[in-house]
Chains A and B, each alone.
Chain A
Amino acid sequence: MAGVELKNVKKSFGLITAVQDMNVTFDEGSFTTLLGPSGCGKTTILRMVAGLEAPTDGDILVGGTRVNEVPIHKRNLGLVFQNYALFPHRTIGQNIAFGLKYRNVSKSDIADKVKAALDIVRLPGVEDRYPSQLSGGQQQRIALARAIVIEPDVLLLDEPLSALDANLREEMRVELKAIQHRIGVTSIFVTHDQSEALAMSDKIIVMSAGKMQQVGAPEEVYNSPANEFVANFLGASNILDVTVTSADNRTIVVQTPQFGTITVPRARVADLHGAKTGRLVVRAEKLRLLEATAHDGGVSAPGTVEAVDYQGQIARYFVRVGDAQFQAMNMIDGRPFEAGTGVQVAFNPQDCSVLPIES
């Protein structure tokens, strides 16, 4: 087992820069997620750690040793692919034993290890079947078993759950995390699914356009987004242009066109570099819709429901306040508001954050 470190890692394909200047540490035994939309460079990073791509510049360290020049087959990494990549012409047992053959493991030990790996992924007794005889979820477990049976220094997971259907995905999410926790292997997980990232990670690295946007624990990244991209990518956010009217050590007062003045705690305000304008971020689930006449003590303004997206437990509302449209995700208590209803739109100042305006 070992930690992974990227030092000034860059990758370009011709004129296109896929990854710019990555400096990041994946702690030993931790579960780190690279989160971002497709094309943000997250898979390229994973492939560079695996050795399937060579970085254009910079160093990759595994367990403190530079591995840039180490060929793929000597890196001792476990890689799990999105499409499982099981060998279709080999049985499950042969698939799992594949990596052991190159590691001087005796025949009887191989059989034991294969059996143990199948127990870990809770699919005992399928050694003699072929991959095509298993379901997608089972195949993904076999792919995981094949990767962990070699006791890799690092486990690399390239969107391993995205080929599964929704229910199975959530089940596998819990199981994968449990297995990782049990064997304690340093894991790097690539996904574009924010709920996977939030549920499984010790640390999330949010990426966009080849750059790290924010690195932090799930709560940190979710509650205090470092910029608008992160605010929008992890859950739905409402973003308003605001003017700073006054500031002291504990609070900052901003003027919004729709909600008047709001006093935001200093801790929730990013460095504005002395600018007098900024952007106020309010998460959709922090925005409450109330009866038109009600008032619950937060900041509020009258609005009109324009559309309702009913999702069972919760409803996503699109409400118009003044000339702007806001998104609100509320638990449904009784009956949801209908489109066209006049409502009071409210939120608490301590639930918003203020970001600088990006040029």
Chain B
Amino acid sequence: MSGPDRAPDLRPWFLLAPALLSIIVLVVIPMSFILVYSFYENIDLAVDRAAFQFSNWQELFRDKYYHVAIWKTLRLSVIVTILAAVLGYVPAYFIAMTRFRHRWLLLLLLILPFWVSFIIRTLSWIHILGNQGALNGLFEWLGLTDAPLSMMYNETTVIIGFLHVFLPYMILNVYVSLDGIDDNLEPAARTLGATPWQAFREVTLPLSLPGLAAGCLLVFVLTGGSYVTPLILGGPNDYLFGNLIHDAVVSELNWPMGATLSFTLLVMLGLIVVIYSRFMGINQLAKAFR
């Protein structure tokens, strides 16, 4: 006779297996190595001794240099996120509301830049803003300037570079949210007496907030974890936490310190994601990639 308890259904696990396996092999195991490595001792350039000691972590907590980098990273990520939210909402709204029949074309235009390496896209700013760049050429041709204006290698160019690369993520997320709003809600608000702006503020904007929040999370995390953009477009003072990792591993050949910093960045950005999912629910992110 069969009892009330049946054999557990294994099918979900079969379906999950490929994803779980990839995450374990490609993320969990390497990150564990990195955590272990952070306790090793760096003796000389590229010479490490396996150990379990806390000098790397002590250095991280004591040295102001790292704290400044964390502050810089946080600050720049916030700036880029806010600018991306403001600049991204408008085109997202336009794409969602347009009566243009070939909307897919607009979305394709948005995805098109992903076909070009983001390093190349970042480098292109040198040809636009550089001393020999297009903008300086134009100014000179117009007779506005005698000598080239120095516009490159500062925080502004880093922000421009970030916005250029991350804006599509914001636009896509906001677009998906806006697209999911019932088309009749704004007309309903209008017939009840709301002006176009009031209808937007009271109905469309609040209903698109989940998409806006998802876009903000992505842009924030992507900015917080980058190092290439400041490397290419920034000046000597425009480093982010990611650049410290790059320096430790590539220039100083101090892998244990690099491991410590890597793990720190993972925890900090992970915390942001956890806080976000507490308030918004992480599944909102998935909607942008249907």
Tell whether, in the assembled complex, residue B194 and residue A79 are in contact, meaning their CB atoms are under 8 Å apart. Answer: no
A222 at the interface (CB under 8 A from B): no
Tell whether, in the assembled complex, residue A73 and residue B188 are in contact, meaning their CB atoms are under 8 Å apart. Answer: no
B189 at the interface (CB under 8 A from A): yes
- Give Cα distance in the complex from A146 to B203, angstroms: 15
Tell whether, in the assembled complex, residue A79 and residue B206 are in contact, meaning their CB atoms are under 8 Å apart. Answer: no
B22 at the interface (CB under 8 A from A): no
Report B211 CB to chain A, min CB distance, Å. Answer: 14
A150 at the interface (CB under 8 A from B): yes
B contact patch SS: helix
CB neighbours (8 Å) of A146 from chain B are 192
Of B25-33, B166-174, B179-187, the stretch lying at the interface with chain A is B179-187
Report B164 CB to chain A, min CB distance, Å. Answer: 33
CB neighbours (8 Å) of A87 from chain B are 185, 188-189, 202-203
B207 at the interface (CB under 8 A from A): yes
Tell whether, in the assembled complex, residue A73 and residue B207 are in contact, meaning their CB atoms are under 8 Å apart. Answer: no
Interface string of B189-227 (1 = CB under 8 A from A): 111111100110011001100000000000000000000
Tell whether, in the assembled complex, residue B194 and residue A81 are in contact, meaning their CB atoms are under 8 Å apart. Answer: no
Interface size class of A (residues with CB under 8 A): 20 to 34
The residues in A between 100 and 140 inclusive whose CB is less than 8 angstroms from any CB of B are 101-103
Tell whether, in the assembled complex, residue A73 and residue B184 are in contact, meaning their CB atoms are under 8 Å apart. Answer: no
Tell whether, in the assembled complex, residue A150 and residue B184 are in contact, meaning their CB atoms are under 8 Å apart. Answer: no
A50 at the interface (CB under 8 A from B): yes
A337 at the interface (CB under 8 A from B): no
A339 at the interface (CB under 8 A from B): no
Report A208 CB to chain B, min CB distance, Å. Answer: 25
Report A205 CB to chain B, min CB distance, Å. Answer: 22
Interface string of A155-186 (1 = CB under 8 A from B): 00000000000000000000000000000000
Tell whether, in the assembled complex, residue A78 and residue B191 are in contact, meaning their CB atoms are under 8 Å apart. Answer: yes
A85 at the interface (CB under 8 A from B): yes
- Give Cα distance in the complex from A72 to B186, angstroms: 11
Question: Can you list 23 contacts pairing A with B, beta carbon distance less than 8 Å?
Answer: A50-B187, A51-B190, A52-B187, A52-B191, A71-B195, A72-B190, A73-B190, A73-B193, A73-B194, A73-B195, A78-B191, A79-B188, A81-B188, A85-B182, A85-B184, A87-B185, A87-B188, A89-B206, A98-B192, A102-B193, A102-B194, A102-B198, A103-B193
| 5 smallest beta-carbon distances between A and B, as pairs | A102-B193, A99-B192, A85-B184, A85-B188, A72-B190
Interface size class of B (residues with CB under 8 A): 10 to 19
CB neighbours (8 Å) of B199 from chain A are 73
- Give Cα distance in the complex from A78 to B187, angstroms: 11
- Give Cα distance in the complex from A75 to B191, angstroms: 7
CB neighbours (8 Å) of B184 from chain A are 81, 83, 85
Closest Cβ neighbor of A103 among chain B residues: B193
Report B121 CB to chain A, min CB distance, Å. Answer: 37
A297 at the interface (CB under 8 A from B): no
Interface string of A56-73 (1 = CB under 8 A from B): 000000000000000111
CB neighbours (8 Å) of B190 from chain A are 51-52, 72-73
CB neighbours (8 Å) of B188 from chain A are 79, 81, 85, 87
Report B233 CB to chain A, min CB distance, Å. Answer: 40
CB neighbours (8 Å) of B182 from chain A are 83, 85
- Give Cα distance in the complex from A99 to B191, angstroms: 8
Report B48 CB to chain A, min CB distance, Å. Answer: 55
Report A147 CB to chain B, min CB distance, Å. Answer: 8
Tell whether, in the assembled complex, residue B207 and residue A72 are in contact, meaning their CB atoms are under 8 Å apart. Answer: no
Report B108 CB to chain A, min CB distance, Å. Answer: 25
Residue among B182, B193, B198, B202 with max Cβ neighbours from chain A (10 Å): B193
Closest Cβ neighbor of B181 among chain A residues: A88
- Give Cα distance in the complex from A52 to B191, angstroms: 9
A77 at the interface (CB under 8 A from B): yes
Tell whether, in the assembled complex, residue B185 and residue A85 are in contact, meaning their CB atoms are under 8 Å apart. Answer: yes
Residue among B185, B192, B194, B206 with max Cβ neighbours from chain A (10 Å): B192
Tell whether, in the assembled complex, residue B192 and residue A88 are in contact, meaning their CB atoms are under 8 Å apart. Answer: no
- Give Cα distance in the complex from A81 to B190, angstroms: 13
Residue among A77, A101, A103 making CB contact with B191, cutoff 8 Å: A77
Report A154 CB to chain B, min CB distance, Å. Answer: 11
Closest Cβ neighbor of B186 among chain A residues: A85
Interface string of A208-230 (1 = CB under 8 A from B): 00000000000000000000000
- Give Cα distance in the complex from A78 to B191, angstroms: 7
Residue among A50, A75, A89, A98 making CB contact with B207, cutoff 8 Å: A89
| A73-B193, A146-B192 given; A79·B207 CB < 8 A | no
Interface string of B130-172 (1 = CB under 8 A from A): 0000000000000000000000000000000000000000000
CB neighbours (8 Å) of A88 from chain B are 207
Interface string of A307-328 (1 = CB under 8 A from B): 0000000000000000000000
Report B276 CB to chain A, min CB distance, Å. Answer: 19
The residues in A between 21 and 56 inclusive whose CB is less than 8 angstroms from any CB of B are 50-52
Tell whether, in the assembled complex, residue A150 and residue B192 are in contact, meaning their CB atoms are under 8 Å apart. Answer: yes
Closest Cβ neighbor of A76 among chain B residues: B193
Tell whether, in the assembled complex, residue A99 and residue B193 are in contact, meaning their CB atoms are under 8 Å apart. Answer: yes
Closest Cβ neighbor of B190 among chain A residues: A72
CB neighbours (8 Å) of A76 from chain B are 193
- Give Cα distance in the complex from A85 to B184, angstroms: 6
- Give Cα distance in the complex from A83 to B203, angstroms: 16
Report A70 CB to chain B, min CB distance, Å. Answer: 12
Tell whether, in the assembled complex, residue B206 and residue A73 are in contact, meaning their CB atoms are under 8 Å apart. Answer: no
Tell whether, in the assembled complex, residue A102 and residue B191 are in contact, meaning their CB atoms are under 8 Å apart. Answer: no
Closest Cβ neighbor of B193 among chain A residues: A102
Extra A-B contacts (7), CB below 8 Å, given A76-B193, A81-B188, A98-B202:
A50-B191, A72-B191, A73-B191, A74-B193, A83-B182, A87-B185, A98-B192
CB neighbours (8 Å) of A85 from chain B are 182, 184-185, 187-188
CB neighbours (8 Å) of A51 from chain B are 190-191
- Give Cα distance in the complex from A76 to B193, angstroms: 7
- Give Cα distance in the complex from A85 to B181, angstroms: 10
